[in-house]
Amino acid sequence: MRKYYPKQLVKPLVCLKDKQGLIIGNLEKAADDGITEGELVCPVCHSRYPIRQGILDFSNQQNELPEEMRIEVAARDQAAGGYDKKLASRYYREIPSTLKALGDFRGQRIIEYGCGTGRLTAELAGAEQFLAIDFSRASLLKLQEKISGPAALGAALGDIVQFKTAPDYFDLALSAQVIEHIPDAAKRREFFENVRETLKSGGKFVCTAYHYDYRRRRAGQPQEGFHPSGIFYHYFTGKELKQELSAVFPSVKIKLIDISWPLVWRLGLPARFEGSLSRLAERLPGIRQLGHLVLAEVRKR
């Protein structure tokens, strides 16, 4: 279990007020390599960012969240304990394809937006540095339970749309099943622009989002709305997501993943085998339209 914020991950952090680099302030509990209780400070405007239980808190310096996002935070906090179990059945249909899109991450600097309980974070332990952001403290506490060893992984609390980091710093950026919960296109563009700014030249951004798939369209289900928990959602077509990303990134690759073949669930197949069938379907033009997720891969020039 990891319950400190690594000191080497202070370098990419900037003040949300004036974008000045943050420095270490008062420390209550710290070791040579990390901070459990303390604060970071902006040397110019003196804004303070507390660290509690090893989680760096940006939320106190961000604008107040709109009501629909405050509802989502409460829902995420409440569901954090059972979230991994809830999505476990999708693991082999989703995670291997997402990791393949990321490529070789060993020795890379990675930033993950909306990390949640760390379903993907825990798979990327070979990174040189890893900054994981989410606005659910309960989810970040679950993430900490999965992290051990020498890897420099820092957890930060805050809204990803408002979150900014040093320019040209990270090699890889990741966002899994997050952007469908950002309420409007203008805020999604703001988020994409922040991602572009913090990536190095040639850096890669991989994101996944709900796909407005054939089953959903045929059933006449809405493309946008609210889950019973109150969480906002928007289902993207591949063309729609590509269009939004292309306004910020010059080259966008789109593919459909997490594909369930018709009636296969009745066979009770092992999850690994279902994952293999899903990856086969990714190459088949008709069946891939059943994909639950759309995956985008972009690079910064």
Both structure tokens of 106? 């060993």
Q: What 8-state DSSP symbol labels residue 5?
A: E
In a domain, residue 154? The reply is no
In a domain, residue 14? The reply is no
**Which residue has better confidence, 83 or 103?**
103
Q: What 8-state DSSP symbol labels residue 301?
A: -
In a domain, residue 294? The reply is yes
User: Is residue 27 very low, low, confident or very high in pLDDT (cuts 50, 70, 90)?
Assistant: very high
CATH number of residue 221's parent domain: 3.40.50.150
Would you say the pTM of this structure is higher than 0.75?
Answer: yes
Both structure tokens of 11? 């370098």
Q: Show the CA angle centred on residue 8, arms to residues 17 and 64, nearest 5°.
A: 30
Q: For the segment 136-161, what is each residue's pLDDT rounded down to a tens digit?
A: 999 999 999 988 765 689 999 999 99
262: domain range? 65-130+159-299
Give the mean model confidence (pLDDT) for residues 178-198. Answer: 97
- Those residues whose C-beta lies under 8 Å from the C-beta of residue 212, and which sit 6 or more positions away, are 223, 235, 236, 237, 240
In a domain, residue 216? The reply is yes
In a domain, residue 268? The reply is yes
In a domain, residue 20? The reply is no
Q: Residue 223 in 3-state DSSP?
A: coil
Q: At how many degrees (to 10) do helices 67-79 and 137-146 cross?
A: 40
In a domain, residue 35? The reply is no
In a domain, residue 246? The reply is yes
d(CA 144, CA 220): 40
Domain count, the chain: 1
